[in-house]
């Protein structure tokens, strides 16, 4: 299985948005994700709009100042919560 985080962009004052792609030998799953504008929580784009993932209150990207720093934190948080 591989996981890629792409299209990492600033969202609001301290938030980030990105695309996550999880691939295995059979398929790939692509989701759009983001934090709130303060860099907290984890939200997923659904057919009805953005919805916060259950148990993602502790998700925090406020320390990230660049897309590279955000990528490192996103990856770290993904594998800690997987």
* Rounded (10°) CA dihedral 11, 14, 17, 22: 180
Residue whose structure tokens are 């996981």: 3
Q: Per-residue pLDDT tens, the chain, 82 aa: give them.
A: 789 999 999 988 999 999 999 898 778 889 999 999 999 999 999 999 999 998 888 889 999 999 999 999 999 888 876 6
Q: How far is CA 32 from CA 16, 20, 65, in A?
A: 11, 6, 20
């Amino acid at each position: 299985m591989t996981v890629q985080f792409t299209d990492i962009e600033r969202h609001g004052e301290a938030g980030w948005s990105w695309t996550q792609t999880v691939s295995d030998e059979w398929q790939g799953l692509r989701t759009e994700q983001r934090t709130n504008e303060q860099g907290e929580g984890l939200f997923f784009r659904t057919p009805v709009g953005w919805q916060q993932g259950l148990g993602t209150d502790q998700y925090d990207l406020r320390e990230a100042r660049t897309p590279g720093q955000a990528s490192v934190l996103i990856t770290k948080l993904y594998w800690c919560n997987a």
